[in-house]
Each structure stands twice: as structure tokens, then as C-alpha cells.
Structure 1
Amino acid sequence: MSDSSPARPAVRRRAATRERLLDAAREVLAREGIQGASVEHICDQAGFTRGAFYSNFGSKDDLVLALLDQERERMFTALRAAADPASYEGLDVVEAFGVMIDRFLLMQPQDREWFLVNAEFQLRGVRDDAVGRAFVEAWRQVRADFEDFMSTVLQTLRLRLTVSVSHAATILMGTYESALREALIEDRPIDLGLLKGTLPLLLLTVTEPAV
């Protein structure tokens, strides 16, 4: 089938509609929460009819979970790009992690909207409904992906962990999330100095040179 086929523009339009619905859902969920957000509000935000919504998603829950998948992929795309070995070649561990943090925050800037949506997902996970259980499974995959990513970076830096990779991931992710939460609550930029001064040192306390 050639690029001039009538099917090509239709596929692109469908993809663009889906993207606009996901962007609209992000805004509405941050403003109203998962429970309060309705299909009608999401459609109004996107400028589409309910027909357009249901031609792309079977239900609001389907859209919510698609949004979770999209944001997870965005985060790991930014992480992988930030940890490109070419960007920190020849640097010591502290300098290397400083470069990675700078690059990650440039590619994945402070995001109040997604923080609110993610908090909604966490509440659903605690409540253990259908969306919550799907979130828990997705979060487990995020953790596993992050642990694999961290192990690869440490191997590149010729370090090995002296604690379990799960414990190390909890330390690093928890420190970042705490710094982000405080910044958003206090309506200020995230404390880059804190992250660049703390995360590498935390990592050094749980690693040793690989032999």
C-alpha cells in the first residue's frame, strides 16, 4: 500500500485523535481526579464527541490505563537518553550522576500535572479496584525496568551493589519523589543541588568498585 493510499491519512487522524484525548485526560484527571473525571469532561477538554472517544477507547478505564502506559514510556525514554554513556565518559561517579540528573530533568521537567495524576493512581492501587490492580502491576513493571536500567548504568560505571537492587532503587526513587513533592507543595523548582549532592553519595554508600 502506497503512502498516498486513503488509509494513511485516516490512520494519522486516528492517532492524532487518540493523542489529543490522552492529553485532555491528563489535564482533567489532574484537575478532577480519576473518580470525578467523566468521559464528557475529557471529550469537552479535547474538543471531540463521545463517538470519537469510543472509537479509540472502550471505556474511561481503558483510557486511564493507556495514559499510564504512555507516561511510563516517556519517563524511560528520558532516562535512557540521560544515561547515554557518551555524555559522561571519563567522569567520576559523582560527576557522571550530576550530568545524568541534569539531562533527565531537562528531558523530563518538573510536572505538577502528572504528579497529581500519579497520586490518583496510587490511591486506586491502595483501594484495590480494577484500575488500582492494573496500576499495581504497571508499577511493578516500572520498578523492574528501573532496576534493570540502574544495573546497566552501574555496570558502565564499573560499580556493583552491596545491597539488593530493589533496596537501592527504593532509596534513589524515594529521594527523588520526596524532593519533587516538596518542590510542588512549596511551588518552587526542584532542588537540583540537593539531588546532585545527595543521589550520587547515596549510591556510593551502597556500591563498591567492580573487580
Structure 2
Amino acid sequence: MKKINKAEITRFSREETQQRTRQRLIESAYLLVAEKGVEGTSINDIAKGAGYTKGAFHSNFESKEDLILNLLDQHNDQIAQSLLSVVKKASTDFDSALAAVSSWIQDYAMDRHLALLSTELYLFAARNAAFEKEYTVMMDRHRHTYADLLSYLFNLAHIRLPESPLKLANSLITLVRSSAVDKALYGKVTDDNAIALFINLLRGYKPTRDA
């Protein structure tokens, strides 16, 4: 068994410390940007919120936008892993999987900080051309996560989707974003059944006139 020398231990410790620092800065930005917006949040605010100096920030990120892109990438990855976990736990039964995913999406839309953050980054990308390029690449990957999920769900029931999974994923993301904005503004979602209805409509669900 190879022995780890002191230099390697020091390097591992330094890397772990840097990773913790980066993560605390990202978590600080997550809360601050959600509440104050990108423009209203300074590098000093982020560093102070994490318990560090501006020097620590600049040792880990090139700019505020660089940190926010790292935050977005991490956030999207967490969503993908969480959705994958939900689907795996729901077994191969279509109705169970559909109910589990629908419930997950609605719960996601209920998180106020996530609602504010996702909306803020969407608007910031529309105003900042340099940020928009990176944001678009990351969100394209995010759309494919939803598209793969829809494909998997409806393959379970051998149901052919009426449109391409990616187009439907765009619609689903728009609906989730709208629900998130409702939650952020009013403390509730205007129509908390909209997401479930959207998914059910894809499999041929038709509400009665009295519904």
C-alpha cells in the first residue's frame, strides 16, 4: 500500500479548504442574489456573507459572473440528480413515476429562494450579452434533462409524445418558472394543478366540463 507523504497530505488539505471556501461563497451568493439581484449584490457582499474577505473571493473566482455561472451549473446538476433519484424510486410503473415527478416539480416551484434566483438569472442573461452566452449553454443542457425525463416517462406507458421531447421540455420549464414567479410574488401558485395537468394532457387526459 502506497504511503501518503506529508506534502500530499498538505496538498489534499489545501484542496479541501479551497473547496469549502468556494462552496461557502456559492451558498452566500445564492441567498444574496435571490434577495437583492445580481446588480444589487457586490463581491464584497458575497465574501462578507460567507465570512471571508474580497481576497478570498478573487482567489477562487475571476468575477461575480464567474461565481454565478458556477452556482447555476451546480444548481442544474443538483436538479438533474434529484430528478433521476425520484424516477428511480418510482419504479417502472408509469402512474407512480408520473405522480412522483409531478409532485417533485411542484415542490421545486414552491421554494422562494429558488424561484427568485432562477427568475433573476433569466432576466440578467437577457440584459448581459456576455453572461447570456454561457447561460444559454447551461440552460440547453438543463432542457435536455427535462426532455430525457419526459421521454423516459412516456416510454414506460408506450405513449408517443405529440411533440419533440425538447419542445415539450421548453414548455414545462416555462410553466415551472411561471409557478415559481407566482410563489415569489404572492406566496402561492395561482394554479397549483397546472403542472400536473400539463403532464396529464400529454397522455391524452381530457378534463370534464365540470372540472
TM-score with structure 1 setting the length: 0.82
Aligned to 2:203: 204
Alignment of structure 1 residues 79-118 onto 2, 5 Å: 79-84=83-88, 86-90=89-93, 93-103=94-104, 108=108, 110-118=110-118
**1:143-182 to 2 correspondences below 5 Å:** 143-182=143-182
Percentage of identical aligned residues: 24
Match of 1:28 among 28, 32, 45: 32
Contact between 1:82 and 1:101, CA under 8 Å: does it hold in 2?
no
Residue of structure 2 equivalent to 1:130: 130
1:125 shift after superposition: 2.4
| Contact 2:26 2:71 (8 Å CA) reproduced | yes
What number of residue pairs does the alignment pair up? 201
Question: What's 2:79 paired with?
Answer: 75
Query: 1:83–1:199: structure 2 CA closer, same or farther, 3 Å change rule?
Result: farther
SS at match of 1:55: helix
Asked if 1:8 corresponds to 2:12, the answer is yes
Bigger Cα displacement from structure 2, 157-166 vs 44-53:
157-166
1:22-55, Cα deviation, whole Å (9 max, x unpaired): 0001111112211121111111111101121111
Q: Which consecutive unaligned segments of at least 5 residues does structure 2 have? A: 206-211
DSSP-derived class of the 2:38 partner: helix
CA distance in 2, matches of 1:176, 1:99: 15
Deviation for aligned residue 1:100: 2.5
Supply the distance in 2 between the matched residues of 1:193 and 1:143 (Cα, whole angstroms). 22
Deviation of the 1:189 alpha carbon: 7.1
1:183 equivalent in structure 2: 183
Aligned CA RMSD, in angstroms, stands at 2.6
Gap runs ≥5 in structure 1: 207-211
Give the structure 2 partner of residue 65 of structure 1: 69
Q: Distance in 2 between matches of 1:177 and 1:59?
A: 27
Distance 2:190 2:85 in 1: 20
Q: Secondary structure at the match of 1:160?
A: coil
C-alpha distance 123-184 of structure 1, shift in aligned 2 (>3 A): closer
